[in-house]
Amino acid sequence: MADKRRRIYYNKGQTTNGLNTKGGEWMFTDNVEYIGQYHTYTTNEVFSEGLFIEGKSRTLIPYVDINDKLSEFSKIGMNIVSNVEYDEIKNIDVTPSKFTNPDTEIPTTSDVSAGYMLRYFAYKVNDGNITELNKAGYGNVGTKDGFDTHLWKKFTIRWKLSGPDFDIVDSKGNIKEAGIIDTNRRTIELHSEKYPTLKLYITDFSAIQA
């Protein structure tokens, strides 16, 4: 059965079509691994097929090796039925979350002086959705005014603000001075190992302007 998108219409700037996976990246919500073409949206939605086909495209979520997870959780007596991380919390009374609109923190004068700032995020464990928060919204996670901590995991990343745009290297290829764009790209790649959809959410690695 095909799945529905959150919006009826997306413009070209909100979609990335024609992507391809050879495996180990995405799976359907019934935990079947997906191999083939897929496409993404700036809303963090990921669908099968190279572009959206009504009645055929299906929602994709970050791939998890179910057999490994079954083995891991069976050791502690946990029963896995469907989505692995979501099933960890399915018997917990989850408080309805107040939805927070994406909001990037603006660097302060001290951030600019230090050359970096913190960016704040919340990651939804059952579907991989990521939302950027300001500092106040980040602090509200786990309260009645923010996201429920059973469904959302919050994390921060250190974002470079000053320096050259790209790494400056010597004749041997050693980095003499780290660049803003290259450093922030490496940061996203590192954190994407734990939060796979982050690399789809953040595609601009330049410094945030105050």
Residue-wise pLDDT for 118-154, tens only, equals 999 999 988 888 999 999 989 999 888 888 888 899 9
- State yes or no: pLDDT of 31 exceeds 60: yes
Lowest-pLDDT range, 73-77, 136-140, 195-199?
Answer: 73-77
Task: Write the single-letter amino acid at 96.
Answer: P
The average pLDDT across 57-82 equals 61
On whether the CB atoms of residues 186 and 203 are closer than 8 A, the answer is: no
d(CA 40, CA 178): 30
Residue 101: pLDDT over 70? no
* Least confidently predicted of 95-104, 140-149, 155-164, 190-199: 95-104
CA–CA gap between residue 22 and residue 35 (Å, rounded): 5
Cα 160-189-6 angle, rounded to 5 deg: 100
pLDDT digit string, tens, across residues 159-187: 999 999 999 999 988 999 999 999 999 99
110 by DSSP, 3-state: which? helix
Q: What pTM does this model have?
A: 0.55
Mean pLDDT of the chain: 82
125/75: higher pLDDT: 125
Which range (6-20, 92-106, 115-129, 190-204) has the least confidence?
Answer: 92-106
| Neighbour-count burial for 153-186, b at 16+ CB within 10 Å, e otherwise | bbeebebbbebeeebeeeeeeeeeeebbbbbbbe
| Identity of the highest mean pLDDT range in 69-78, 80-89, 102-111, 152-161 | 152-161
pLDDT at 95 over 60: no
